[in-house]
Amino acid sequence: MAEGHLRKNWSRAETLLAFRLYCQLPFGKLHQYNPDIITLAQHLGRTPSAVAMKGCNFASLDPLHQQRGVTGLTNRGKLEEQIWEAFHDDSEAIANEAEALYESLLNPQANGDDPTKPSELDDLASPDRLALPVGPTEVERTVRTRRVQGFFRRAVLSGYGHRCALTRLAIPELLNASHIIPWATPGSEQHRADPTNGLCLNALHDRAFDRGLITFDENHRLLVSPMLADDTAPDGLGRFADAFTPQTPLILPERFAPSPEALAYHREEVFLLA
């Protein structure tokens, strides 16, 4: 029997899992033959083509893809828009929710749920089920942090094609997902899992960016702190100076372009001028 006769409407939890997959797959791999899409489809009792189409609907909400003329399907539902807006408002909460759902999907026996049933998936995604109690334990905070950081890293690296945005280095062990507005910044919770608040940088540039020794201007070109300008000093860059050539252009991702507001914050609040 066709999928539409079995279950016409997507639940919020199913749509959230499709959003998670969209964030973590390169756009060119959002197709029905992708093993990750096939696996999710099997868990949900959906066809791979239906899951792939759902991902493409999210692509149509990304401003970067809108500029490229990606429109998605004409029957895009309200759920996609609601989840997209909720992620924009509080990326940490949505990332934690999506990762919790995915963990339950892989290990339904952990809490006795059958994640192939939309009603029970939605129960897993209910605010009461996922909200931390007052005074969360250290374990709960650790689990939430692990989920959010994992979501953020996968989304950022995927958007940049698993290559450093400055050097094109493609060794996973040497790549980091760099927060533009630092994780510990007061009030930054809503940005912690947002890939538009991230850059894919190699470990050296990531450390320099994190410490305010480099940043990027309005045209996404490298700015170098005066603290690194004198590479003849005993503690200067020396043979590493070429890695910090001013005005080197940042290679933009295929989705989730870095937020101009976040980059402005980094220039004004993190970058070291002296």
pLDDT digits (tens, 9 = 90+) for 27-81: 788 899 999 999 999 999 999 999 999 988 888 888 766 666 655 554 557 889 9
Instruction: Answer yes or no: are the C-beta atoms of 144 and 90 closer than 8 Å.
Output: no
pLDDT band at residue 141 under the 50/70/90 scheme: confident
pLDDT tens profile 195-252: 999 999 999 999 999 999 999 999 999 999 988 766 555 565 655 667 788 899 999 9
Residue 84 CB neighbour total at 10 angstroms: 18
- For the CA atoms of 10, 13, 14, 16, the dihedral, rounded to the nearest 10 degrees, stands at 110
Cα separation, 265 vs 51, in Å, equals 37
Element holding 222 (H helix, E strand): strand 222-224
Classify residue 268 by its DSSP letter.
I
Structure tokens at 244: 């910090």
Mean pLDDT of 89-96: 95
State yes or no: pLDDT of 90 exceeds 80.
Answer: yes
- Token pair recorded at residue 41: 């489809």
What is the DSSP code (8-state) at residue 112? T
More confident residue, 178 or 8: 178
Helices 78-89 & 91-106 angle (0-180, nearest 10): 120
Alpha-carbon distances of 75 from 14, 80, 139, 197, rounded to whole Å: 17, 11, 42, 30
What is the pTM (predicted TM-score) of this model? 0.82
**pLDDT above 70 (res 131):** no
H/E segment holding residue 203: helix 203-210
- Contact call for residues 200 and 228 (beta carbons, < 8 A): no
